[in-house]
Amino acid sequence: MKLIVANLKMNLLFEEINVYKETLENISFTNKIVVCAPMAFVPLFKSDKYSLGAQNCYVEDKGAYTGEVSAKQLKSLGAEYVIVGHSERRSYFKEENDFINKKCLKVLENNMLPILCVGEITEEKLAGNTYNVIQKELAECLVGINNFDNLVIAYEPIWSIGTGLIPSVDEIKDAIAYIKEYVKGNYRQEVKVLYGGSVNMNNIFEIGQIDNVDGFLIGTSSININDFVNDIEKIN
Ligand code: PGA
């Protein structure tokens, strides 16, 4: 069974949510679906049919942190997954690995699963540094983590996010193998790894055939519910 995570980013309006939800409620799927809604709408996506996720959280439980939402609050809404270290958080909000590590630990402390995003930018790829970048992100974001049953890693080459460009099948397979071997080598444990970056109904089946891909993190193609349904149905 694959894990298919919708990252809605900062899309949808309140009035669009019912249609999104109803459509998702009324299709049948065999894989596990997680919807990571914009923060304001997270509670509206509670469902028996798919899991609730968030796109971010803060590292403190409560207090004077205007505008932030704690992992504990997300847990109290019924969230099961929280995306951490997404490249858009890293680039626009200057989140660094040590801060992302604190978020991972906080999500775990609240009995939810972090979906930790790692991946390289174009220049790093062209310089042959993809694995060095991934290695550093893993080393610094996974400090203090000892149970990989409760954590998911998403390999998201940054140059592929929202661009329509995707790595070759071999590149995806090798990067995911690298991540799994890193966790195995350092922690003696297995970890689930998703692929993210321009996944859509035209490529999801092929990427899903790669044997070490445990699922997908889907941005653009999850925003329109019909696109997302098509994605889901391609790998049912
Ligand atoms: P994309 O985004 O599917 O639009 O490339 C993926 C992501 O940012 O998680």
Q: What is the pLDDT of residue 96?
A: 98
80, 86, 95, 137: the active-site residue: 86
> pLDDT per residue over 179-190, tens digit each?
999 999 999 999
From the CB of 5, is ligand 1 less than 6 Å away? no
* Minimum CA distance residue for ligand 1 atom 1: 219
- Burial string for 179-216 (b: 16+ CB within 10 Å, else e) reads bbebbeeeeeeebbbbbbbbbbbebbeebbeeeebbbb
* Minimum CA distance residue for ligand 1 atom 2: 219
Q: What is the pLDDT of residue 184?
A: 98
Q: What is the pLDDT of residue 5?
A: 98
> pLDDT per residue over 116-163, tens digit each?
999 999 999 999 999 999 999 999 999 999 999 999 999 999 999 999
96 is catalytic: no
From the CB of 199, is ligand 1 less than 6 Å away? yes
Q: What is the pLDDT of residue 131?
A: 98
| Ligand 1 atom closest to Cα of residue 161 | 5
Q: What is the pLDDT of residue 124?
A: 96
Q: Which residue pairs from 180-187 have beta carbons closer than 8 angstroms and sit at least 24 positions apart in sequence? A: 180/212, 182/134, 182/135, 182/138, 183/138, 183/142, 183/148, 183/153, 186/142, 187/142, 187/145, 187/146, 187/148
From the CB of 97, is ligand 1 less than 6 Å away? no
**Do the Cβ atoms of 84 and 115 come closer than 8 Å?**
yes
Measure the CA–CA gap between 196 and 186, rounded to whole angstroms: 24
From the CB of 73, is ligand 1 less than 6 Å away? no
156 is catalytic: yes
Query: Within the chain, which residues score under 50 in pLDDT?
Result: none
**Do the Cβ atoms of 196 and 172 come closer than 8 Å?**
no
